[in-house]
Amino acid sequence: MQNIPPVEAAVARLVTELDYDALPSDVIQGARRLMQDQLALQAGCAGLPWSRTILGLTRERHVPGRARVTVDGDAMSAADAAFVNASFGHGFEYDDAHRASSSHPGSCVVPTALAVGEEIGASMREVLLGIVAGYEVYTRIGVLAAPELLELGFHPHALLSTFGAAAVVAKMRGLDVEQTLHALSIAMSHSAGTTEYTSSGGSVKRVHAGIGTRGGIRSAEMAKAGITGPAAFLTGNKGFFRTFVRREVGADAAAAFALDAPFEITRIWIKPYCCCGINHAYIDGARQLADRADRIDSVELGIQAGGDVVIGNRNASAFAPKSIENLQYSLPYQFALSLLGLGNGFTTHHDYLAGRLDIGDGSQVAKLAGRIRITHKPELDTAHPGKWVADITVTYDDGTSENVFVDSPRGTADNPVSQSDLDAKFRDLTVAALGAERSEALLFAITEGDATMPASALVDLLMV
């Protein structure tokens, strides 16, 4: 590890030195909660149109292997199965989020760890350790890249998932510290993806998790085979931070990757709403105002810079959504749906896909959205770094006004969903796909199962 910059050396050591027996109990619990949410989403979203397209394409071109596709059971290489399962899990804006990095680690690290686990005959203990390694690398790089990565138009998940998947594979396949460094370095060459889908649509957004995950898996395979990457892949003059984030990250950032630094996986965000997470604080605020909706004359929504890019004024379709992607990334329409009591969940967005929810011109939703103004307020960025907040001011028909401020939306680490609510989300997503008996068996295996259980035995429960 000579001549390796401090940050890059620290990232590689974090992966190789993580030890299951030394992990705090809340870290293991965080990994299990993450797995519970992500596997439910893979099962529940496997039938979506774009999910079927991705599976069909992969069936035509896959490499044979032992890893399996959720619900359908096709056996493929780990890279192919993880590609499909990650796309399922990220397929409907309902997967976990990491607030400080504006990303979705679960739909990368969980499918990667289980696919590799099936391929190498790993236990759940090894899978959980792989999940933690991938999550920590993904999110700790992401925190250092925030908020610029999102504000510049990149999709953080598409860029960070390559690092997360590479870390999972490096840990589970036992790569040494030098091979791990090269795996992560090569992963940078797979980083790509912007948030243009929020403005002009495109179901490829659903596949960003799969694209990044496959790239990360291949990066680790290349490193193990002897391919090398640049040593200063994060902090070099043309490394990740200066190129994608456009600023320097110094050697002191190595402390972020220390084994004794706080574990990000203890702060997962379980989404209660089926749309971009930046909407969630506003949805919570709208729910507080719903009983006065018929009196509202106008609404001003104060927003942070990154939020304005994704769901606000810099989203060309925010005030005129024409597709499911547009709708899930439209702050005015998500706010209106909540205020009108129409919901922001899985069923609501399925109803839109099926033509049962009218948001077109002249609809109640469109009329209310038309009375909303979005204002970027720089003071929100300054006062609330690493958080997505909502500053809501409504003016009523009698000229009076009211302000609602939400800084810890439901589901975040500061306002977590209960285990019973997480279980309810799990059943809502899995019972239709797997049946009630299999759903309960899967839930028990995830939450209470012995860590010595083979990964393949858990995956058995995901099959129909």
- Residue at 441 is within a domain: no
Query: Do residues 237 and 170 share a domain?
Result: yes
**Same domain? 252 vs 313:** no
- The pLDDT value recorded for residue 114 is 98
323 and 256 share one domain: no
Same domain, 80 and 213: yes
pLDDT score, position 1 = 58
Do 355 and 295 share a structural domain? Answer: yes
Do 257 and 295 sit in the same domain of this protein? no
Angle at 275 between CA 295 and CA 43, to 5 degrees: 135
133 within 8 A of 174, measured Cβ to Cβ: no
Looking at the structure of the chain, the number of domains it has is 2
Residue 343 in contact with residue 327, Cβ under 8 Å? no
Last residue of a domain, one of 202, 236, 267: 267
Identify the H or E element spanning 44. Answer: helix 25-45
Handedness of CA 234, 24, 118, 34 (dihedral sign): negative
Give the predicted TM-score (pTM) of the model.
Answer: 0.97
Claim to verify: residue 152 and residue 209 sit in the same structural domain: yes
Q: Say if residue 137 is in the same domain as residue 46.
A: yes
The answer to whether residues 18 and 43 touch, using CB atoms and an 8 Å cutoff, is no
**Domain of residue 219, CATH code:** 1.10.4100.10
Could you give the CA distance from residue 227 to residue 187 in angstroms, rounded to a whole number? 12
Q: What's the confidence (pLDDT) of residue 193? A: 97
Check whether residue 257 and residue 285 sit in a common domain. Answer: no
381 and 323 within one domain: yes
Residue ending a domain, among 239, 267, 295, is: 267
Contact 130, 112 (CB under 8 A): yes
What are the pLDDT tens digits along the chain (464 aa)?
Answer: 568 999 999 999 999 999 999 999 999 999 999 999 999 999 999 999 999 999 999 999 999 999 999 999 999 999 999 999 999 999 999 999 999 999 999 999 999 999 999 999 999 999 999 999 999 999 999 999 999 999 999 999 999 999 999 999 999 999 999 999 999 999 999 999 999 999 999 999 999 999 999 999 999 999 999 999 999 999 999 999 999 999 999 999 999 999 999 999 999 999 999 999 999 999 999 999 999 999 999 999 999 999 999 999 999 999 999 999 999 999 999 999 999 999 999 999 999 999 999 999 999 999 999 999 999 999 999 999 999 999 999 999 999 999 999 999 999 999 999 999 999 999 999 999 999 999 999 999 999 999 999 999 999 999 99
- Residue 410 vs residues 280, 282, 305, 331: alpha-carbon distances, Å: 8, 11, 21, 17
Of 195, 130, 129, give the one whose Cα is nearest residue 164.
130
Task: Tell me, yes or no, whether 100 and 175 share the same domain.
Answer: yes
Q: Are 281 and 369 found together in one domain?
A: yes
Q: Report the b/e string of 134-145 with b at 16+ CB within 10 A.
A: bbbbbbbbbbbb
Instruction: Identify whether the C-beta of residue 400 lies closer than 8 Å to the C-beta of residue 12.
Output: no
Residue 3: what pLDDT? 87
Q: What is the CATH number of the domain that holds 306?
A: 3.30.1330.120
User: Structural domain of residue 327, as residue ranges?
Assistant: 277-406
